[in-house]
Amino acid sequence: MNMSGSMAHSIKSISAKSVADYFLLKGSSDNKPITNKKLQKLLYYAQAWSLAARNKKLFDDKIEAWIHGPAIREIYLAYKQYGAEPITKKIDGKEALAIPEEVRNFLDEVWTVYGKFDAAYLEQLTHSEDPWQKARQGIEPNISSENEISLESMQEFYSSKLKQIQLA
């Protein structure tokens, strides 16, 4: 009996930490080390494309429009000690592997598209897109901000990108 449709809304939401762990495990297994900055962008794109393609948010954590692009404060602080170096912390993977298979498959797609790029490229990419720009409107480039990148702006922007892809 297929219950995935009716069960989808009762599954407790995934944390950004679980998604971060999943990407860190992917990076490790693919021999593509991930820095804190790259991890932040992967989390942002996972949330944005989940809103566009799955019509639901992936996690509840707030994404802020920082100088170097979208960031989740709690995740940033957890890996701050690595600076710009790859995160080498051993991830136990229990939380990451508890993510439902359908969501892991989705995260694999995000990894396939964005995992090959370095943090600097991903930063430039987010800076060129509406959601980060809107959240930083009126703020000088070198000034810190805690402004949230709204789920609505992400969903709107990436849904229109998705339509363009589907029409192509």
pLDDT for res 2: 38
Look at residue 9 and tell me whether its pLDDT is greater than 60.
no
pLDDT for res 12: 59
Q: Which residues contact 52 (CB under 8 A, 6 or more apart)?
A: 154, 155, 158, 159, 161, 162
- What mean pLDDT is predicted for residues 81-102? 93
Six token digits for residue 57: 């948010």
8 phi and psi, to 5 degrees? Answer: -55, -35
The helix, strand and coil proportions of the chain, stated in percent and rounded to the nearest 5, come to: 60, 5, 35
Instruction: Point out the least confidently predicted range of 12-26, 32-46, 148-162.
Output: 12-26
Q: What share of the chain has pLDDT > 90, as a percent?
A: 84
Query: What average pLDDT does the structure give for the chain?
Result: 91
- What mean pLDDT is predicted for residues 155-165? 93
